[in-house]
Amino acid sequence: MLLRYLFCGGAVPELPEVETVRRGLNRLTLNQKIQGGEVLLDRTIAHPIFVSEFLFGLAETAIAQWHRRGKYLIAELVQDAVAEQSSLFPVPCSLSTTPAGYLGVHLRMTGQLLWVDAAEPVQKHTRVRLFFQGDRELRFVDQRTFGQLWWVPPNYHPEQIITGLQALGPEPFSAGFSVDYFYQQFHSRQRPIKNALLDQRIVAGLGNIYADEALFLSGIHPQTLCSTLTHNQVKLLHSTTLKVLQDSIDANGTTFSSFRSVEGINGNYGGKAWVYGRDGKRCRICETVIERLKMAGRSAHFCPQCQN
C-alpha cells in the first residue's frame, strides 16, 4: 500500500492536511524498527549538522506515536531496552521501551511522505529514505526542497532543537484558543484581519485557505482592520474558524494538485470551498462574482457582497 501526500499547485499544507498525514502515519508506521536510512539531499536535514549523526540517531528506534504541532509533524521515538534481571528471582528478561528522541518533519510547500515497499523505484525528488523492518520505507520527497527533517536527541525537548515551535500560538482546538484570547489578540492591532489570521504566533496551523473560508462565513472583508472588529464579530470568527478546520479534517483536507489520503482518496474539501480558489465564479450564497486580491504576498478570496 502506498501512503502518498502531495502538496503543490501554489498552495501550502495547512492544519487539516498535516493532520490527515499524521493520522495516516499513525495507522501504518508505528512500532516498526528503523533499520537504517539514506539522505539524498544533505540540506533537507536541519539537525544535526552531520547527516551521519542524523541517521545514527534514528537507527534501531521505532515510532511510538506521531504528533502534530501547527504544521509540524513530530514522531516520538523509542528503543527496546532489556529490563534488569534480579539475581534473587531469576526469570526470563523482558523488553521495555525507553525514549529515543524525536523525528521532526515540516513539509513546507511540496513535501510528501511516502510509505512504500522497498522494491518500489525511488521517486524523482526523493530527499530522504528511512528503511523499516519488513522491507518497508518511509520516503521524504520534495520537489521545491524547502521541507526539513530534524532528529532531536532524547535529552532535549523538541522546541529546543526545532526552534520554529517556540513561536507558535495555541492550537485551534485547544483550551488556550478561547474567544477572549482571540479578541485580545485583535482589539489593538492596526493590521488587516486576513494578515493577522496567517500569523502563526496568534493561532497555530491556520493558513491561506481556511482563513479565507472563515472570513467568508463570518461576513468579514479580509482587509478589515483587526481593531475595528467587535467582540461579537470575533466570537463568530472564532466559531467559523473551528468549523472550516473541522470540516476539512473530516474531508481529508484540500486537494491542491494530487492529494491522497492513506486509503487513496482525494482530499474533498476543495469541492466544498465557499471562496478559496473560486475567483471569477459565483458566490454560493448571493451569486455575486468572487474576487481575489493580493495581501502581503498572499491571495485573499472573498465575496464583495457577503463580506463588507
Where in the sequence numbering do the catalytic residues fall? 13-14, 71, 298
The phi, psi pair for 42, rounded to 5°, reads -60, -35
259-294 in b/e form (b: 16+ CB < 10 A) is bbbbeeebbbbbeebbbbbbeeeebeeeeeebbbee
- Burial-class residue 134 by CB neighbours within 10 Å (0-12, 13-18, 19+): exposed
Give the position of cell 482571540. 182
End-to-end CA distance of the chain: 48
